[in-house]
Every structure is written in C-alpha cells, then in structure tokens.
Amino acid sequence: MKSLRAALAKLPAYLWSGWGAVASLLLLVAAWELVAQQYGPLVLPDPRSAFATLAHSLALGDAGPELMATARRALAGFASSVLVGSALGLLAGVSMTASMMSRPIVTVLLGTPPIAWLVLAMLWFGASDGTPVFTVFVAAFPVVFVGAMQGARTLDNQLKTMARAFALPPRMMFLDVYLPHVVSYLFPAWISALGISWKVVVMAELLSSPDGVGAALAVARSQLDTAATMSWIVAVVGLLLAVEYLLLEPLKREVERWREPGAAPGGAAT
C-alpha cells in the first residue's frame, strides 16, 4: 500500500520527464513529413493525413474493434508466454541439468523465424484466433524463458546462506530473498516479450485472420491506400508506447528502485 502511494506520488514527475521522449518522437514525425513532401502522398502520405485517417476511422467505429481484436490476441499470446515461460524458466534455472539441456532448445526457438511458425500455425489452427495467439506465444516464450532461467541461475549463494543462517521461514525466503532478485531479471524479459508480441500479432493477422489490424493492413495494401496503412501503423505503435511507458516502465521503476543511486525506499523512512 505504501509503495503504491509512493509510486502515485512520483507519477507527475515521471510524466513531466516524458517531454524529452515526446520531443524525440516529434522529431521523427518531422522527418516523416519531410520525406512525405519529397515523394508525394502515394509513396508516403504526410503525418497529418495519416492521423486524420485514423481519427476518421476511430470516429466511424471501424478502428476500435480491429484494435481490440489485435490487442486480445497479442495479450493472450503474451500472457501465456509469460506464465509458461516464467514458470518453466525458473524450474530450469533451479536445476543445472535442466538449464544445460534447455539452452540449445532455446537457441533453436529463438532462431526459428516467426513466419515459419505462422505457416505451421495456419495449418494447425486455420483462420481462428489460435493462429496469431500461438505464433505470438512461440515468438515471445523463449525470451521470457531465458530471462527467468537467468534469474534463477544467478541467485546469490551468499544471500541464501545468510538467509538460512538466520532461519528465515520459507515464505520470507521466497518473498524477500528469491522473488526480488528474480523479478529484476523477469521484468526486462517481459517488456521485450510484449514488444515482440505486438509486432508478431500484426504479421500473423496479415496472413491468417479475417479481422484485426493485420487484416486491415492487408486490405489497405490491396487498395494501395498508404494513408490507411500509415494510420494503422500509428495506432499499433501508439498503443505499444502507451502500454510500455504508462504501465510497464513506471512499474519497473517502482520494483527496481533499490538499484537507483539516489533512491530511498518509499515509506520505510518516517
């Protein structure tokens, strides 16, 4: 409760620090505008028309359901990869044999292109939600797995011995010794996995689904509608930015506050 309050208290400062990020994004938009002026709207429509197209389709109610469908599939795949990857990765990290055995398998999984999984998934699941969800799961799983395994492998033996010497009960052993360490490995892995999920789901939808942002992109491509294409890209990337910087990054900062040089534990000092 205390840490939640401390996190909320720091939110304005965090948002204010976002101006730098906003400025660099605007620079990117300016470059986009420049290229658009150079090559004309068929090659690259200017940002304003892309944003206008997005606003228009949002107002019409076309974009909402597509984005929802995409988000649903991405999050379903992401959630299952987080659950399964974290659990299996931690188990593998606890046992030396398991981690040695799983390393080459993980390399194979990481090395297999998602598009190859997508072809298999289309054969197995057809045009159902299963295809994008499975592809997302397979693409994100090894990243989470490796993070969890590293977290469990690198548990500090000295701290474990200390905790045993002071007879910490199992619950405290888990919550106060193991978990904070493992989380510091899991969290970055989860964030990368989310980025992967978001990219892979659009690709999977483009080839396999009747609806969702990927399907909408396929339609825009067949109609040579570059403005619509750019508006979908803006929507997807905007959502990812929002989830990452408004949800995950503040959460990560709160969880890893002990790493910062100038940090003080929230609420512990009175």
How far is 258 from 266, CA to CA, in rounded Å?
10
**Contact flag: residue 40 with other proteins (CB under 8 A):** no
By the rule CB under 8 A, 164 interacts with other proteins: yes
Choosing from 58, 84, 168, 233, the residue that interacts with other proteins (CB under 8 A) is: 168
Chain centre to alpha carbon of residue 112:
19
Q: Which of 13, 166, 222, 224 binds other proteins (CB under 8 A)?
A: 166
Distance in Å, CB of 151 to other proteins, minimum: 13
On the 0-12 / 13-18 / 19+ scale of CB atoms within 10 A, 60 is exposed
The only residue of 17, 37, 107, 161 in contact with other proteins, by rule CB under 8 A = 161
232 three-state secondary structure: helix
For residues 218 and 206, is the Cβ–Cβ distance under 8 A? yes
Closest to other proteins by CB, 79 or 255: 255
Closest Cα partner for 110 from 199, 194, 193, 190? 193
**Minimum distance from residue 4 beta carbon to other proteins (Å):** 17
Is 264 an interacting residue with respect to other proteins (CB under 8 A)?
yes
**What six digits make up the tokens of 79?**
């959630």
How far is residue 266 CA from its own chain's centroid?
27
Min dist. Cβ of residue 1 to other proteins (A)? 13
Q: Is residue 269 a contact residue for other proteins (CB under 8 A)?
A: yes
What's the CA gap between 241 and 77, in Å, rounded?
A: 19
Q: Residue 162, interface with other proteins (CB under 8 A)?
A: yes
Q: Which residue from 1, 113, 169, 224 is in contact with other proteins, where contact means CB under 8 A?
A: 169
CB neighbours (10 Å) of residue 257? Answer: 16
Stretch that binds other proteins, among 45-53, 78-86, 120-128, 259-267 (CB under 8 A): 259-267
| Positions in the binding site for other proteins (CB under 8 A) | 158-159, 161-162, 164-169, 172, 176-177, 180-181, 258-259, 261, 263-265, 268-269
